[in-house]
Structure 1
Amino acid sequence: MNLSLVAVLALTLVSICVAQYKSIPLLLAERTAWKPNDGAPKQPWRSRPPLLRKPIRRPVPSRQPYKQLLENLRQRYPRPKEVLREHYQQQVRDFNLTASAKDVKLRNYFDTLYSGLITIGTPEQQFDVAFDTGSPMTWVPSIHCPPEHFGYKYRTYNNASSSTFQANGKEFEAVYDLGFVAGYRSQDTVTVAGLTIQNQTFGEAIIESDLFSNSRTDGVFGLGFSNEEPTVFDNLVNQGLLPAPVFSFYLNKLDIPGPDSVLTLGGTNPEYYTGDFTFINLTATDRWQFEIDNFRVQLSNGDVLFMGSGSPAIVDSSTSLIFGPMEEVDVLNRKLGAKPLPGHVSLFEFDCSELDSLPDFEFYVNGQKLSISSKDYVLKIFLYGTDLCYSGIMGRRWKESETPVWFLGLNFMRAYYIQFDKGNRRIGFAKPKY
């Protein structure tokens, strides 16, 4: 990846990771002022549109490591914003669907986000979207989005330019922990990995919070479970375009040589993994969740730390780190030898010289073991000529009425080639080829 592009992407990713969860403004003035063209729905906005909510709120990561990462990038690549923006646009134009028929080539945004290309409409309109196992909705920014909500967006969907567009008009609002989007649903052809879905419902976003308006990705491709219209992936299966309701991820790490990241639709790709899969059945009907018997860590002094008995866990491709209950995570990080940073909730620092001696973090599910090493659960940052190492396992607090859940984000997913089997309601884990 071009180093200048890395700097551009990191600016976006830092804004994603440091944003604090806040209540959703209604922005009624903008909604009232919006004037659709003939292809848009005619009904006025209600005072509050129906919410399309995720079943579980995602955790908000600490801002400190990403602030330092941003400062490091600024020192290494001090280029004017306009030059970086122009460079990013050129890179996007050069990025194309060169993978095989069922593979989606993914771009690695500094190990915190992975995205790929889809097209919508006739003629095709191209979008760079993040693939999210934690939500079902696929959406892209609409041309009707007021300019003040465009942010860094370079591409928007124009339904008037598509001969296969069909009006739907049903409002949607997708709410995430770090932001929201609102707009209306439309139908059109959607193409991913060379496979074209007819009459697919998706979201045209006309209002986006700062999180999304400043993102270098255009939108989101939902790979979660839907209780409403069939998702894009559902219709790939329903329309006979895939041999099986399965998709798989191989996610590379920027500092480790290896092939580009790939999402495989309809099965698995043996080029990216070795050995057999370890399968774990899902324990929820609306998300990629299973139950962990316990976590185990063999400490350097010979003690064994057990924790998390009977905890649900969700594999979430739009969460960059691992999140668990605050008290358990704090105990774990301290036992591993990490020191808490004063003034920062659940942020722990390791001595970088001791990383090789850190133990694996083991997960036991139905008697089967999964594990990740310190190279996966430690976030290493180079700053002012020195390395800084932070724990990539962070804590969050839960309300008394909520069941504590572990979120297994990208630093967990990179440790495995992961198969999401919707038909058999299970997740498979295999050793990746790095």
Structure 2
Amino acid sequence: MVLSTSLSSLLALPVLAFFSLSARASPHPPRTPLSTAASTLKLAVRINSSGVKNIAGADRARVRDLQAGRSSSISATNAATIYTADVGVGSPATYYTLLIDTGSSNTWIKDKAYKKTSTSQDTGGKFSITYGSGSVSGEEYTDIVTLNSDLVIEKQSIGVASKSTGLDGLDGLLGVGPVYLTQGTVSNVDEVPTVTDNLYTQGTIGSEVLGVFFAPASSGDSSGELTFGSYDASKITGDINYVPITSTSPASGYWGIDQSIAYGTTSILTETAGIVDTGTTLILIATDAFRKYQSATGGTPDEATGLLKITSDQYNQLSSLYFTIGGVTYELTPNGQIWPRSLNSAIGGTTDGIYLVVGDIGSNSGSGLDFINGYCFLERFYSVYDTTNSRVGFSTTEYTYATSN
């Protein structure tokens, strides 16, 4: 895995979309754990400095894919921050820089990058995946995949893509979503085991649990991590509080939860269903809730970024947002509600502008997907995605009350 780098050196790197976290509501059938082990994969962050066109519009386009049940797109032109990993494939291993995506489950590498070794086996199958804004296709292989010294997978399905769109500057994608999403993607099988499936069935991890940690991009800590098989207790400052996957469709088809939101003491969204998704940059809420938020904050729409913009005086008057999930309330402070001011240029904003990271999902509440807790929420709270028990968990971290923005 690539190690974290200084923030200044990352600002010159190319932009790609956030990887996403989504899964079907139904868990995998329970299996007898082969191991109690867990292992952490460090992530490297890349921050765009070339300008992002309307970050809120890009997020809403993703929402339309999710609501329509399409594979959510991974854009190479719209997001400001992504996390990548150097992943070894073959024996001896060749290392590829891959986007980590828990919103899709196929792992694939661009044909021009893939180096075949004695462990590379052509399955005879063809793989093809259509995303909301592009597609990828090619030959299906199996090979050894090395995530780190503790996470080595035998005979992992690998697509070798002769055609692909997006992912400029990267070699491919590591899919760590649910196996359901591989159905119909490979010609000669119904579905292919994901890397998480194989880590579990091969006894490398003891449960199908994924812990996700981000540090705010402006915090000076430019690292993130995935923990397979458990969560990293060193990253949390409280208990992990779990909530079951919502039963409301279409949110139930992803990492969907039920929550309510209040701005200060004022309710802006009663308990309803939505999803947790690192593939979405912002915190998106139903249009009727967004209007209440806009009115309360005094924010005005900014054409360049698509975000609400506020003055310094309005920032000083901001109240916290309170997300109540499973009876537990999570406070998003005023500082957590604004885009990192040091990164304003990455989204096309002005240097001295103050932009809110709460956006309009594009439809009124009652749609069955009334909010998305995106990256800007998840960089303040540790999250756990438990396929075995069909639940999501959250905890506070050292960054929950940070003032780095």
CA distance in 1, matches of 2:93, 2:356: 43
Residue matched to 1:124:
93
Select 1:157's aligned residue among 111, 114, 117: 114
Long gaps (5+) in structure 1: 18-52, 56-99, 144-155
CA distance in 2, matches of 1:4, 1:267: 32
CA distance in 1, matches of 2:294, 2:160: 42
CA distance in 2, matches of 1:178, 1:375: 33
Relative distance call for 1:401 and 1:3 in structure 2 (3 A) is: closer
Whether 1:277 and 2:232 are equivalent positions in the alignment is no
Relative distance call for 1:142 and 1:5 in structure 2 (3 A) is: farther
Q: 1:290-301 to 2 correspondence within 5 Å?
A: 290-292=257-259, 294-298=260-264
AA in 2 matched with 1:265: F
Residue matched to 2:178:
225
Whether 1:198 and 2:154 are equivalent positions in the alignment is yes
Relative distance call for 1:427 and 1:128 in structure 2 (3 A) is: same
Select 1:175's aligned residue among 115, 130, 133: 130
SS of aligned partner of 1:181: strand
Q: 1:234-383 to 2 correspondence within 5 Å?
A: 234-258=197-221, 260-283=223-246, 286-292=253-259, 294-298=260-264, 304-307=266-269, 309-341=270-302, 347-379=307-339, 380=341, 381-382=343-344
- Per mean C-alpha deviation after superposition, the further-off stretch among 257-266 and 113-122 is 257-266
AA in 2 matched with 1:351: T
Residue matched to 1:188:
143
SS of aligned partner of 1:276: coil
Residue matched to 2:42:
105
SS of aligned partner of 2:273: strand
Residue matched to 1:166:
121
What is the root-mean-square deviation of aligned Cα atoms in Å? Answer: 3.1
SS of aligned partner of 1:8: coil
SS of aligned partner of 2:238: strand
CA distance in 2, matches of 1:230, 1:397: 35
Relative distance call for 1:196 and 1:373 in structure 2 (3 A) is: same
Relative distance call for 1:333 and 1:168 in structure 2 (3 A) is: farther
Whether 1:138 and 2:107 are equivalent positions in the alignment is yes
| Count of equivalent residues | 328
Long gaps (5+) in structure 2: 25-36, 48-79, 181-190, 400-405
SS of aligned partner of 1:113: strand
AA in 2 matched with 1:333: Q
**TM-aligned CA deviation for residue 351 of structure 1:** 1.6
Residue matched to 2:369:
404
What per-residue deviation string (whole Å, max 9, x for no partner) do you get for residues 114-134 of structure 1?
122211112212122222222
Relative distance call for 1:5 and 1:170 in structure 2 (3 A) is: farther
Q: 1:73-112 to 2 correspondence within 5 Å?
A: 102-110=39-47, 112=81
CA distance in 2, matches of 1:257, 1:6: 11
CA distance in 1, matches of 2:15, 2:351: 24
Residue matched to 2:61:
none
TM-score by length of 2: 0.72
TM-score by length of 1: 0.68
AA in 2 matched with 1:12: V
Residue matched to 2:393:
428
User: Identity of paired residues, percent?
Assistant: 25
Task: State the structure with bigger RCO (CA 8 A, min sep 6), 1 or 2.
Answer: 2
What per-residue deviation string (whole Å, max 9, x for no partner) do you get for residues 87-129 of structure 1?
xxxxxxxxxxxxx981111112236211222111122121222
What per-residue deviation string (whole Å, max 9, x for no partner) do you get for residues 36-69 of structure 1?
xxxxxxxxxxxxxxxxx998xxxxxxxxxxxxxx
Greater share of helix = 1
CA distance in 1, matches of 2:261, 2:111: 44
CA distance in 2, matches of 1:333, 1:138: 40
Q: Is the 8 A contact 1:326 1:346 kept in 2?
A: no
Select 1:7's aligned residue among 11, 16, 29: 11
Q: Is the 8 A contact 1:295 1:363 kept in 2?
A: yes
Answer with 1 or 2: which has the greater Rg: 1
